[in-house]
Structure 1
């Protein structure tokens, strides 16, 4: 029996070819759904200097530059534009991935038209407000995010730790949707000895790697302290830190790490080659909802050190597929790095185990799980149109 295809509208502030975990995940999910025969309509802001024209499955809205990321646009409220479009061509279900003005207007339009809405919790904005000196807003941001997600049929979260955190803050109808990795792209076979020579490394030297945004929410102040501790523990060992990515803290981090090599933003094969040519991946972030880079590093055959939350909690077994530290314990994080470096054979074993584990984390099963969640939400919407949470009227302002 043939299953009916769905018309899915995906609303997001960020999408490929932008380089970040949310854009990558949404690109994988939308491509996967199209491969299953569904129609996916993307609604997003037009980005700076973008020439792509809107069409049947792409709606571009106006946006504002995002502070600290001038190349990205924060979508403006577009409720009337969405109402006009969806009255002509009604989706079966919306997936709202970001909770800004564009996502808010999509939620309001969907409620007016009684279209099923599923949301995704992709970014811990309530933690960002504290990190950027706006701690007084943290409570309001948490209240808004809870209100927003509790007005949707379900909210998809990428990790068990994220689900527990949000449940404790009153978020309802949470379902899991994990992340995957392309283990053909991220592959130890891409290791380049020529690239390592360009990094100034010889046989037996070690390359430590960080990949991600260079911003306050990534806890990057721990990288200089970790490197100093490693040099103190192993004074005769030659190693180099590679930093892949860009962001508002790049200049500051370059001052803190004058001997590190900053590679900028990399994509596709170039990124995969840098992963595979390193040895140890260090990821000090404490704000991840998941952290795709953890799986990418494992698939590339690296020994990964991260805090025991999000992707690391799901995919690293300490001492077997990587090393984890107690969240927020800097000494424990540094000790985990030192543990990986003190025994070449242990590091080799961890890297092999990490690769083996990551090859079993493909995207196909995750896309099918996403499809199942969307169908389930559509079916539930036939029985009761909208979830109603006590005291959940729209926030003012």
Structure 2
């Protein structure tokens, strides 16, 4: 059964589980790695653990000093991993079906949830199928769209075929927006469920605004700070960011661009925008202060499945300009709590950026409304819906199974 939230966010109203579940959660990225997927996965894992479920987190070892954590009802199992080309701070899993079959034969979970579709995720799917375990998945990253930005657009169809094969072998695939659900369904994906994403409004809040930080940037109290947060990479459509800020600069020479993040195109972007401030990767309260100390948030990406930075900027009280896509399309009422440009219309994006830059009162009004919208995106309700989907998958399982609870030892496989 589906219903609309007060903000018009379509969600699937699955009942929350009323018993403790043993959940094997498989992911190829997790904090302290810095990316939106890792952050949202951590929120879900922490939320499930807080709701009294046994969580077995299976992920690649991130470096030589990485060690498995263990606590009551929470255990990590570390697998072998390899660095991802062009993304040295991230690791990818390697084929591990045999190890997972051995692990789950001894410590059998009630359900396997696969958050990423790499080699480790595929191995988890094979192992779960072999053991007749209920299995569900997330569609979190548009790898198929990324291929077009790295000169390998010819891989689009093979990647889509792989993703479709992967997800259709699970009993349910969770997606963050109704628009993405429709797109994937049209592409042959089955058993799709909308489970949106939340934002930590205690961390991301206008109260984090820091005049001291703005002084470090060399801006006066009334100067305009334009903010971008995200990977500095081809898939983020950075030419639109450059064009938008150049248009802003023509009308307001004192405007300052602050870029938070890192990536393979940083040197190129620094050359194109030599006066911009490149703050690097930021975390926690420091990241929140960077958000709240800006005035206008530009997000030009066209490859997001959701776009967590959109909700973080909104919660921080910023007027957000984005394309009519992903989280922005779901949450922004253009002209009221932010601004939307038509999909892939760079000229409209640039024009809207210049208009917002010149409208101080409009930006403030939109920022206040954006903060109000974000206040409804509570992570606890998202975790409850996620939990409900897991329970539904278990109930539809091919072979119902319930073994005595056994602990999972700390360590690596």
Q: 2: distance between equivalents of 1:378 and 1:23?
A: 25
What SS class does the counterpart of residue 140 from structure 2 fall into? coil
Number of the residue aligned with 1:306: 322
Deviates further, 47-56 or 316-325: 47-56
The match for 1:270 is 286
Aligned-pair CA distance for 1:53: 3.2
Q: For residue 221 of structure 1, what is the aligned residue in structure 2?
A: 239
Farther-moved stretch of structure 1 (148-157 vs 126-135): 126-135
User: What is the alpha-carbon distance in structure 1 between the residues aligned to residue 393 and residue 303 of structure 2?
Assistant: 28
Cα distance in 1, alignment partners of residues 157 and 341 from structure 2 = 28
Q: Does 1:169 align with 2:184?
A: no
Partner Cα separation in structure 2 for residue 34 and residue 149 of structure 1: 25
| d(CA) in 1 for partners of 2:68, 2:319 | 43
Say if 1:305 and 1:323, in contact at 8 Å, map to a contact too: yes
- The residue that corresponds to 2:200 in the other structure is 182
Structure 1's unaligned 5+ residue stretches are: 386-397
- Residue of structure 1 equivalent to 2:28: 13
Deviation at 1:48, TM superposition (A): 2.4
Deviation of the 1:224 alpha carbon:
1.5
**1:324-354: CA deviations, max 9, x gaps?**
1001000111122122122221111111111
The reply on whether 1:249 has 2:265 as its aligned counterpart is yes
Q: Distance in 2 between matches of 1:103 and 1:286?
A: 25
Deviation, structure 1 residue 212 = 0.6
Alignment partners' CA distance in 1, 2:311 and 2:116 = 23
Please, what is the CA RMSD of the aligned residues? 1.5
Residue in structure 2 matching 1:323, options 339, 348, 364: 339
> Map of 1:1-397 to 2, 5 A cutoff?
3-53=18-68, 57-232=75-250, 234-235=251-252, 237-382=253-398
Query: Which residue number in structure 2 is paired with residue 394 of structure 1?
Result: none
Using the size of structure 1 for normalisation, the TM-score is 0.94
Which segments of 5 or more consecutive residues in structure 2 lack a partner in the other structure? 1-16, 402-413
CA distance in 1 between counterparts of 2:320 and 2:114 reads 32
Q: What is the TM-score normalised by the length of structure 2?
A: 0.90
Structure 2 CA distance, aligned partners of 1:39 and 1:164? Answer: 33
SS at match of 1:162: helix
Change over 3 Å in CA distance of 1:143–1:94 after alignment to 2? same
1:72 CA displacement: 1.4
Higher relative CO (CA 8 A, sep ≥ 6), structure 1 or 2? 2
| Offset of residue 382 of structure 1 | 4.5
Secondary structure at the counterpart of residue 320 of structure 2:
strand
Distance in 2, matches of 1:71 and 1:119, equals 24
- Superposed CA offset, 1:297-334 (max 9, x none): 00000010000111001110001110010010001111
